[in-house]
Amino acid sequence: MKKVLIIGAGGVGQVVAHKCAQVPEVFGEIMLASRTKAKCDAIAAKLPRPIRTAQVDADNVPELTALIKSFGPDLVLNVALPYQDLHIMDACLETGTNYLDTANYEPPDEAKFEYKWQWAYQDRFRQAGLMALLGSGFDPGVTNVFCAYAQKHLFDEIHVLDIIDCNAGDHGQPFATNFNPEINIREVTARGRYWERGEWVETDPLSWSMTYDFPEGIGAKKCFLMYHEELESLVRNLRGLRRARFWMTFSDNYLNHLKVLENVGMTRIDAVDYQGRQIVPLQFLKAVLPDPGSLGPLTKGRTCIGCLMRGVKDGREKTVYIYNICDHEEAFREVGSQAISYTTGVPAMIGAKMMLTGAWTGAGVFNMEQLDPDPFMAALGAHGLPWVAREL
Ligand SMILES: NC(=O)c1ccc[n+]([C@@H]2O[C@H](COP(=O)([O-])OP(=O)(O)OC[C@H]3O[C@@H](n4cnc5c(N)ncnc54)[C@H](OP(=O)(O)O)[C@@H]3O)[C@@H](O)[C@H]2O)c1
């Protein structure tokens, strides 16, 4: 039986704590630590078995190192914010502990995410004999594993990849984000980027769209091209890839609100002077928007996230779509969170399970598609995220 330290008690942290608690044969002891201990205690009170909780500032490496030493986990599961990734990896190296996260590092003062900062830890993790698993959420995460599964079983080469993220749910609020508003708005307002014939091509933010007809009654939705972090590792690790793009659905209502907020300067991430105090408009906006955690009981409908792939197998051209559909209300009934947190938290728990049971081993820094997809794909359905692979 192993010990896991979960850091971050937000929407995703709540799901991870529930899902780890459901698997006592792997997660023998659980500690949930975050900046605000009261949030950890509130989550702990809803779980079917006791866990430990603690207050920690994960940006303070000595404080975090002391906490890790006192609890002695086999794995630190990071579901705080991307700003904390490097500090938590430092504390893992300091204490000889394995590491997992769901989002790659972002410097707080620049709306930019890239794997280079975390890939730079490769030698240190390898030399220490430790494993760091990056991006074990849904996208990145399950989408990478869908690609690895397709590469292993369905294709000799994947030539064209479109990752399509559809949230067909409705929370009834005029404007709200489904996960941390600051991280979400930084991502959505960034320039688009896709990969074609060995080069990155940039597009203006949300300037390219397509309509995709989603399965199982979800129907046709408008999707917008965005840059997403899993593209960076997938273009390195998929054989024969010629083009890779990422798409996400947004309602007109969401886009109209976002445009106004951008136009009036509320999405800025540089500090402005307000009554003698420096404030960052996007951080202030986060404080007045609905807490994504509060959307759980309000959200109805389903998400559908998947990979559409075209390539060749045994000399024959084929197109395969692998996807999961997740129901917001069912997720809420099970763990008290809507499907966006659920689809992130379940794969985080499964990634941790892969590492702690020895199904995934290795020393160094890994992206999800570098590991055997089969045990992860088998665990997805068993833990609440069934998937479908359909040849079109
Ligand atoms: N791969 C995917 O599919 C996917 C999808 C969605 C989200 N994500 C990622 O999942 C992570 C969590 O998202 P979320 O929606 O749960 O965000 P959230 O609700 O804002 O929760 C973040 C948690 O981290 C805590 N935290 C922030 N700074 C901290 C620090 N310095 N020390 C300790 N704790 C700190 C926060 O504490 P307070 O409560 O005190 O603020 C909060 O409890 C993010 O990195 C996000 O990008 C990944």
Q: What is the pLDDT along the chain (392 residues), one digit of tens a residue?
A: 899 999 999 999 999 999 999 999 999 999 999 999 999 999 999 999 999 999 999 999 999 999 999 999 999 999 999 999 999 999 999 999 999 999 999 888 887 888 999 999 999 999 999 999 999 999 999 999 999 999 999 999 999 999 999 999 989 888 998 888 888 888 888 899 999 999 999 999 999 999 999 999 999 999 999 999 999 999 999 999 999 999 999 988 888 998 899 999 999 989 999 999 999 999 999 999 988 878 889 999 999 999 999 999 999 999 999 999 999 999 999 999 999 999 999 999 999 999 999 999 999 999 999 999 999 999 999 999 999 999 99
Separation of 165 CA from ligand 1 center, angstroms? 20
**Could you tell me the CATH number of the domain that includes residue 127?**
3.40.50.720
Same domain flag for 320 and 210: yes
Residue 163 lies in a domain: yes
Asked whether residue 125 falls in the same domain as residue 196, the answer is no
Please report whether residue 377 resides in a domain. no
DSSP string over 277-299: EEE-HHHHHHHHSPPGGGGGGG-
Say yes or no: 169 and 96 in one domain. no
pLDDT at 108: 85
The torsion angles phi and psi of 178, rounded to 5 degrees, stand at -85, -15
Going by alpha carbons, the residue nearest to atom 21 of ligand 1 is 10
Q: How far is the CA of 126 from the centre of ligand 1 (A)?
A: 27
Look up residue 91 and give its DSSP letter: H
Query: Strand ranges (DSSP E) for 112-217?
Result: 131-134, 157-167, 192-196, 199-203, 209-214
C-beta of 347 in contact with ligand 1 (< 6 A)? no
Report whether residue 256 contacts ligand 1, using a CB cutoff of 6 Å.
no
Q: Is 8 in the pocket of ligand 1 (CB under 6 A)?
A: yes
CA 163 to chain centre: 14
- Looking at the structure, tell me whether residues 244 and 319 fall in a common domain: yes
291: how many CB neighbours lie within 10 A of its CB? Answer: 15
Same domain for 77 and 194: no
Same domain, 236 and 292: yes
Confirm whether 62 is domain-assigned: yes
Range of the domain at 322: 142-336
Among 336, 356, 371, the domain boundary falls at 336
Atom of ligand 1 nearest to the CA of 39: 39
Within-domain flag for 125: yes
**Residue 99 domain-assigned?**
yes
Q: Whose CA is nearest to atom 5 of ligand 1?
A: 344
Q: Is residue 171 part of a domain?
A: yes
Whether residue 279 is contained in a domain is answered as yes
127 shares a domain with 148: no
Same domain, 13 and 130: yes
> For the chain, how many structural domains are there in total?
2
Q: How far apart are CA 337 and CA 201, in angstroms?
A: 36
Distance of CA 34 to the CA centre of its chain: 18
Q: Residue 8 C-alpha to ligand 1 middle, in angstroms?
A: 6
Q: Of the candidates 129, 234, 244, which has an alpha carbon nearest to the alpha carbon of residue 194?
A: 244
